[in-house]
């Protein structure tokens, strides 16, 4: 075994006896470790297989009761009408309820000051007191308005003067105007949505305004002649108009699509401006032509020094949790100083937090800082790659942390300006853990850690990585502070460069303070303990309201052969998973919580 400077005799003994000498083959400890990993990997896929859905359809109005006038093919259900005063006419079959009236029918609940119900036609009319609202609840969603006419048999109704608060992403979507509520299958028949019945209802609005801002005079709003909302899934506004306050900005040329189930406005038009030392000043946008089960995305950025970059991608849902994606980019390659076409395609599956992805790509550009002195730039072909990601699961012993596992396998070929590697197969898994513990008013302890193990078919190579960031988020008067210590330990070696890790030890510090109402200045930096140097500093000027954030960011990159970046961007806080516009620089803050963590709070 080679002598390694700076390594104690105890560490040399551990390396020799537990990791073996490459010239003498793998020792018993490596064989045992490989066996344990294989057993764990097998159990993981067995759990995943038995978690697949049965693809049975459950209807929205599925509660069993008895009602002779139910619709054809449905189980009968009871109508319950409660109020301070209820009157019923046997001859006409009409009932009237006044004073905190509540009507329940299957999974639907209507609340109002007065409710009139016709048992023959199954129609309901609800009205509130002045200054109050009518409430319609179903499928965990709530819509309110000044008046409601509703057909219990068809599930169709009209809500006037609506102001509806609908869960969307990590916030609330506020809808105002006149809306029509109807079952998914009926909406599909009328061409409002596509696909099979989803056991939900659809909200169609005319001359409607939507926003995620709770104020009476919101910071921004979207107005459209026609809006279709599928609770829990998406909102589609047809060529809407964007207002900041009361000021009209522009009309979207494309449909504005909010993917609620993905907590993203992936297909909305999002502009950006930024500066790169090599490419110059760039301005661009991303948008999409959307339909009910998919979209065609387009994006472009024009740089003053390198010219136009563009992308196109198509996404199509297949049903049952399956979808496909395919796309191509024509973008700048810093390592070769040229533009390159980069095609890719994926088959995806999502169910109850489980995610699977079969991915193929060619000439994918990868730029990754390994440490303060080394930065990797190269191209990668995935031929293909398969991954399975579990949902977050609470750690069963203390219940303080959340865990998830990501298993990945595939074949890869990488190219750099200096060499071209052979196709290499690797497989492995990464276990991630995240925990937070409140320490008192305005302070909390957190630990974000992960352990990964990778095995390769070349030179009997393997690689293990254990890394973690431990720290505090706390308040000092008006100052929002965060301090963290990061440590990464690597054993073994990868035969490729793009996924090769290095030992690292860094300190992170963040401070943010107000400059005025809703205006903040943020400063974040990191210090490399191994190289005794400040390796990066981020400066940000932010305008943050209760619903949106504008940010002017300057990234001072002090590592070897790296470039500084400047960008101006806008984001909606309710949708933190919205990807960056094509070509936009996105800051990765180590103090951020994992994006899809249950109960995640937006910082």
* pLDDT range class, residue 284, cuts 50, 70, 90: confident
Which is nearest to 117 in space by CA: 83, 142, 145?
83
Other C-beta atoms lying within 10 Å of the C-beta of residue 35: 10
pLDDT of residue 540: 92
Residue 235, pLDDT > 60, answer yes
pLDDT of residue 141: 66
pLDDT of residue 325: 94
pLDDT of residue 114: 92
CA angle 212, 214, 217 (to 5 degrees): 105
CA angle 321, 323, 325 (to 5 degrees): 155
Between 242 and 112, the more confident residue is 112
Virtual torsion, Cα 342, 348, 350, 354, nearest 10 deg:
-80
Q: Do 299 and 310 touch, CB atoms closer than 8 A?
A: yes
- Pairwise CA distance, residues 488 & 127, whole Å: 63
Whole-angstrom CA distances from 50 to 26, 36, 347 are 35, 22, 20
* pLDDT mean over 323-345: 92
Q: What phi-psi label fits residue 113: left (phi over 0), alpha (psi between -120 and 50 degrees) or beta? A: alpha
Between 562 and 489, the more confident residue is 489
Q: What are phi and psi of 196, to 5 degrees?
A: -80, 165
Interstrand relation of 565-572 and 270-276 (parallel, antiparallel or unpaired): antiparallel
Residue extents of the structural domains in the chain: 1-50, 79-261, 263-572
Residue 17, pLDDT > 50, answer no
- Pairwise CA distance, residues 148 & 135, whole Å: 9
- Pairwise CA distance, residues 412 & 457, whole Å: 11
Residue 391, pLDDT > 90, answer yes
Residue 25, pLDDT > 50, answer no
pLDDT of residue 81: 86
Q: Do 445 and 439 touch, CB atoms closer than 8 A?
A: yes
Least confident of 30-34, 175-179, 473-477: 30-34
Its sign, for the CA torsion 196, 200, 201, 207, is: negative
- Pairwise CA distance, residues 307 & 74, whole Å: 61
pLDDT of residue 215: 76
Q: Is the peptide bond before 384 cis (omega within 30 degrees of 0)?
A: yes
Other C-beta atoms lying within 10 Å of the C-beta of residue 246: 7
pLDDT of residue 20: 40
Residue 581, pLDDT > 90, answer no
pLDDT of residue 405: 95
pLDDT of residue 51: 45
In the numeric block, which tokens belong to residue 575?
A: 């949708």
In the numeric block, which tokens belong to residue 123?
A: 């129609």
SS (H, E, C) 293-313: CEEEEEEEEEECCCEEEEEEE
Least confident of 125-134, 163-172, 274-283, 557-566: 163-172
Between 114 and 4, the more confident residue is 114
Q: Do 525 and 534 touch, CB atoms closer than 8 A?
A: yes
C-alpha atoms less than 13 angstroms from C-alpha of 479 in its C-beta half-sphere: 8
Which is nearest to 498 in space by CA: 335, 328, 389, 347?
335
Least confident of 31-40, 325-334, 355-364, 429-438: 31-40
* pLDDT mean over 557-566: 74
Residue 76, pLDDT > 70, answer no
Q: Do 463 and 430 touch, CB atoms closer than 8 A?
A: no
- Pairwise CA distance, residues 281 & 566, whole Å: 9
pLDDT of residue 58: 26
- Pairwise CA distance, residues 415 & 125, whole Å: 68
Least confident of 282-286, 357-361, 434-438: 282-286
Detail the DSSP E strand segments found in 320-337.
322-333
For the domain covering 263-572, report its CATH number.
Answer: 2.40.160
pLDDT of residue 39: 56
pTM greater than the 0.85 cutoff: no
Across the chain, mean pLDDT equals: 77
Which is nearest to 192 in space by CA: 155, 222, 234?
234
pLDDT of residue 421: 85
Kind plus residue range of the DSSP H or E element containing 30: helix 28-50
In the numeric block, which tokens belong to residue 238?
A: 């047809």
pLDDT in tens, 286-318: 776 666 677 788 888 899 999 999 999 998 888
C-alpha atoms less than 13 angstroms from C-alpha of 305 in its C-beta half-sphere: 12
Other C-beta atoms lying within 10 Å of the C-beta of residue 340: 15
Which is nearest to 215 in space by CA: 275, 172, 271, 152?
172
pLDDT of residue 9: 37
pLDDT in tens, 182-196: 776 777 777 666 655
CA angle 112, 118, 120 (to 5 degrees): 155
pLDDT in tens, 484-524: 999 999 999 999 999 998 899 999 999 999 998 889 999 99
β-partners of residue 287 are 298
Q: What are phi and psi of 93, to 5 degrees?
A: 75, 25
pLDDT of residue 201: 63
In the numeric block, which tokens belong to residue 195?
A: 């696909």
CB within 8 Å of 8: residues ≥ 6 apart: none
Residue 596, pLDDT > 50, answer yes
SS (H, E, C) 193-233: CCCCCCCCEEEEEEEEEEECCCCCCCCEEEEEEEEEEECCC
Other C-beta atoms lying within 10 Å of the C-beta of residue 478: 8
CB within 8 Å of 25: residues ≥ 6 apart: none
């Amino acid at each position: 075994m080679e002598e390694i400077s700076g390594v104690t005799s105890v560490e040399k003994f551990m390396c020799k006896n537990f990791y073996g000498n490459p010239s003498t083959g793998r020792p018993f400890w490596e064989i045992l470790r490989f066996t344990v990993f294989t057993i764990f990997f097998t159990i993981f896929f067995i759990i995943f297989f038995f978690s697949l859905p049965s693809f049975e359809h459950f209807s929205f109005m599925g509660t069993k009761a008895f009602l002779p006038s139910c619709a054809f093919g449905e189980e009968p259900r009871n109508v319950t009408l409660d109020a301070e005063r209820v009157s019923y006419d046997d001859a006409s079959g009409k009932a009237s309820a006044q004073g905190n009236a509540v009507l329940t029918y299957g999974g639907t609940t209507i609340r109002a000051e007065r409710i009139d119900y016709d048992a023959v036609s199954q129609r309901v009319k609800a009205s509130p007191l002045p200054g109050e609202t009518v409430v319609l609840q179903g499928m965990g969603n709530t819509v309110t308005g000044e008046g409601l006419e509703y057909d219990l048999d068809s599930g169709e109704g009209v809500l006037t003067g609506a102001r509806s608060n609908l869960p969307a992403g990590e916030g609330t979507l506020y809808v105002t105007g006149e809306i029509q509520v109807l079952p998914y299958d009926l909406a599909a028949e009328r061409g409002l949505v596509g696909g099979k019945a989803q056991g939900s209802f659809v909200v169609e609005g005319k001359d409607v305004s939507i926003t995620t801002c709770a104020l009476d005079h919101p910071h921004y709003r979207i107005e459209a002649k026609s809006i279709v909302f599928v609770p829990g899934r998406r909102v589609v506004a047809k060529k809407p108009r964007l207002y900041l306050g009361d000021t009209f900005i522009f009309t979207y040329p494309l449909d504005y699509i909010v993917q609620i189930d993905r907590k993203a406005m992936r297909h909305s038009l999002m502009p950006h401006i930024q500066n790169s030392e090599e490419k110059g000043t760039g301005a661009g946008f991303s948008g999409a032509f959307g339909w009910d089960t998919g979209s065609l995305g387009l994006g472009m950025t024009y740089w003053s020094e390198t010219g136009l970059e563009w992308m196109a991608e198509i996404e199509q849902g297949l049903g049952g949790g399956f979808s496909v994606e395919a796309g191509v980019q024509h973008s700048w390659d810093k390592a070769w100083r040229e533009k390159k076409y980069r095609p890719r395609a994926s088959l995806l599956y999502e169910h109850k937090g489980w995610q699977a992805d079969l991915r193929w790509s060619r000439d994918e550009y990868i730029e990754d800082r390994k440490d303060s002195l080394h930065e990797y730039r190269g191209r990668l072909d995935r031929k293909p790659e398969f991954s399975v990601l579990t949902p977050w699961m609470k750690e069963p012993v203390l219940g303080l942390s959340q865990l998830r596992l990501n298993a990945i396998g595939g074949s890869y070929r990488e190219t750099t300006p200096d060499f071209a590697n052979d196709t290499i197969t690797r497989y492995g898994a990464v276990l991630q853990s995240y925990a937070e513990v409140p320490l008192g008013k305005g302070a909390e302890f957190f630990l974000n850690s992960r352990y990964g193990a990778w095995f390769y078919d070349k030179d009997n190579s393997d690689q293990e990585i254990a890394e973690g960031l431990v720290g505090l988020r706390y308040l000092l008067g008006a100052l929002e502070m965060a301090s963290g210590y990061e440590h990464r330990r690597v054993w073994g070696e990868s035969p490729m460069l793009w996924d090769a890790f290095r030992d690292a030890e860094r300190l992170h510090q963040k401070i943010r303070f107000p400059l005025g109402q809703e205006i903040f200045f943020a400063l974040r930096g990191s210090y490399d303990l191994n190289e005794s140097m400040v390796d990066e500093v981020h400066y940000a000027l932010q305008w943050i309201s209760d619903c949106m954030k504008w940010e002017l960011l300057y990234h001072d990159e002090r590592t070897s052969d790296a470039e500084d970046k400047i960008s101006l961007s806008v984001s909606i806080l309710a949708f933190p998973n919205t990807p960056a516009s094509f070509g936009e620089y996105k800051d990765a803050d180590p103090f951020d919580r994992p994006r899809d963590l249950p109960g995640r709070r937006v910082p």
